[in-house]
Amino acid sequence: MPIESATYVNDLTPANPLGSDPAGQGDDHLRLLKSVLLATLPNMGQVFGQVRQLDTAQTISATWNRGTVVCTNSATATVVLTLPNSASITTGWSQDIFSATCFTVLTPQAGGSINGNATFTLPPNTAGRVFVQTGGIWRANMANIGQGTAVFGSVSVSGAAVLSGAVTMAGTVGMSNGASISGTLSVNGGLAVSGSVQFNGPITAILGQANITGIVNATGGTVRFPSTQIPSASANDLDDYEEGTWTPTVTCAVPGNLAITYATRNGFYTKIGRVVQIQMHIATSAFTHTTANNEIYVTGLPFTPSASTAGHLFYDGLAITMGTTFGHLTAFINGGNPVIFYLLCHCNSGNGALLSMSTNHASGVNHQARSDVTYIV
Residue 324 and residue 260 share a domain:
yes
Q: Domain span at residue 179?
A: 156-212
pLDDT for residue 255: 94
Q: What is the mean pLDDT of residues 335-346?
A: 83
How far is the C-alpha of 3 from the C-alpha of 85, rounded, in Å? 49
> What pLDDT, in 10s, does the model give residues 255-269?
999 999 999 999 999
What is the amino acid identity at position 331? A
Mean pLDDT (whole number) for 121-150: 76
Q: Walk across the sheet containing 120-122 and list its strands.
A: 58-59, 78-83, 103-108, 120-122
For residue 321, count other CB atoms closer than 10 A to its CB.
Answer: 8
Q: 189 lies in a domain?
A: yes
Report if residue 237 sits inside a domain.
no
**Do 201 and 320 belong together in one domain?**
no
Q: Are 328 and 345 found together in one domain? A: yes
Residue 111 lies in a domain: yes
Mean pLDDT of 89-116: 83
Residues 14 and 51 in one domain: no
Mean local confidence (pLDDT), 250-254:
93
pTM surpassing 0.85?
Answer: no
- Give Cβ neighbours of residue 27 (< 8 Å, ≥ 6 apart): none
pLDDT digits over 66-86, tens only? 678 888 887 778 899 998 887
The residues that bridge with 7 in the sheet, in sequence order, are: none
Better pLDDT: 56 or 38? 56
Please state the rounded mean pLDDT for residues 189-203.
Answer: 68
At residue 186, the pLDDT reads 66
